[in-house]
Amino acid sequence: MAAARQRSVSLRRRLLLWVMLTTIVSVGLAAALSYRQARDDVQELIDALMAETAQLILSQVSSGENGLGGLPDRMATLHSNEPRSDLPLEFQIGRADGTVLLRTENAPRLPLAAAPGYADIEFSGAGWRSLIVESADRAHLVQLTLPADIRDHEALEIASRMILPLGLMLPLLIGLIYLAVRRGLKPLDDLAADVAARSPENLAALSPTAAPAEAKPLIGALNQLLGRVETTLDNERRFTADAAHELRTPLAALKIHAQVAMAANLPPETRATLEKMQQGVDRTTRLVEQLLRLARLDPIERIAAPQHIDLAGLAAIAVDDAGPAARKSGHTLTLRASDDAGAVFGDPDLLGAALRNLIDNALRYTPEGSTVAVAAGRTDGQPMLTVADNGPGVPVGDLPRIAERFYRGSDPGAEGSGLGLAIVRRIADLHGARLDLDNLPGGGFAAHLRWPADAALQ
């Protein structure tokens, strides 16, 4: 439940929800008021029609009581061209003393004793709308009746037709609101895309020019944060570079002292201790060199003067450079360079350092007698450099994090500083390449530097 409370709420969704709810409620109220007004108007129209019909009947009665027998048929003829002539109006005619002279078949059999005017009555369990009209000489009365449910149905039908356009417009209105909100919040989407597209090294200030006024305080706060982060990173890189640089001299001196001491006639235990100390100095020196390289690579956003780099030639040079170390450690180092390997743009020194790092890792972490294969070629049109070995591989759980800085895997006794693959990944990023690491199906480990197909040069 705590996680559900902390879940972020979309500003767009909230805005759309409230605007749409407000619109639906407003349209609903407008439709209700329109329906009520239309119903009242239709009922007034029906009442007026009843009054007009009553006057027509009275005009027929004034001609004499003897001709009332065919009055219903004559009324039907008179009303054939009237609006709403299909309403089942029932009537009865009588004298002022209450004597009924004529009654239609379905008219309620009620005494003509009520006062003239409109009334809502009930007869045989059904509701009726009634109108009693008196002749000018007060000698005759006419009562018109209409079933209340028919009257209400007519009012509902006509009122519904009047509010139908509102119902049809509501989905269109909601769609327009959705588009308007999306367009109105697009500057925030553009700002989010700008931030998401940046690399971790790009800490330049965000431009508030195209942002809405409401987002400018946020952009200002983000720019201040980016400035503080950039200052902190600069201080960290400067400290790392300075510390690594200052450590090189005492480490070199310590190694020389160890070598001088080993030249003397020493007991085996002392010699073994000095050898371990010299190995520790070598590892520390390597760590210092890697820290210096990272400190120089981190501030770089792009290669300053990219050159044409032949991948096959680069792989051949790296294999030649690593040959002595491979022979010393008892490894077999092979090279396979395809004729169509092609070339890419970049810094040959940096890319060569990345390839040597991969070869050095393969030699360092595979048993004596293993084979390290270096390849330059293409896969699916993509230029690629590969360093593969037939060693034990990497634990599956370590693969996602193995290129992180200072991550040395789940084995607490593993050698190395955890910076070699981080340096390779950083160099790959600068060259628009991708570092892929995986275990081989038949055993062993492979590292691929893979470029997009459109980065290849002929």
Based on the fold, state whether residues 366 and 330 are members of the same structural domain: yes
The answer as to whether 302 is a domain residue is: no
pLDDT in tens, 175-189: 888 888 777 777 777
Mean pLDDT of the chain: 78
| pLDDT score at 4 | 44
The residue segments making up the domain with residue 155 are 8-173
Using CA atoms, how far residue 412 sits from 53, 409, 416, 417, 437, in Å, is 105, 7, 11, 12, 21
CA–CA gap between residue 94 and residue 134 (Å, rounded): 10
Based on the fold, state whether residues 29 and 168 are members of the same structural domain: yes
Based on the fold, state whether residues 42 and 147 are members of the same structural domain: yes
Based on the fold, state whether residues 274 and 316 are members of the same structural domain: no
pLDDT in tens, 187-209: 777 777 777 777 666 777 777 76
Based on the fold, state whether residues 63 and 167 are members of the same structural domain: yes
Report which of 392, 383, 404, 367 is spatially closest to residue 442, judged by C-alpha positions.
392
**363: its two tokens:** 């030699």
- Give yes or no for residue 159 having a pLDDT over 80: no
CATH number at residue 90: 3.30.450
Mean pLDDT value of segment 253-276:
77
| pLDDT score at 136 | 78
Based on the fold, state whether residues 386 and 319 are members of the same structural domain: yes
Based on the fold, state whether residues 244 and 163 are members of the same structural domain: no
**Which pTM does this prediction carry?**
0.49
Residue 419 in contact with residue 286, Cβ under 8 Å?
no
Residue 403 in contact with residue 357, Cβ under 8 Å?
no
pLDDT in tens, 197-242: 776 667 777 777 667 777 778 778 888 887 787 777 676 666 666 6
- Give yes or no for residue 82 having a pLDDT over 60: no
pLDDT in tens, 92-145: 888 877 788 888 878 888 777 778 888 888 888 888 888 888 887 777 888 888
- pLDDT band of 68, cuts 50, 70, 90: low
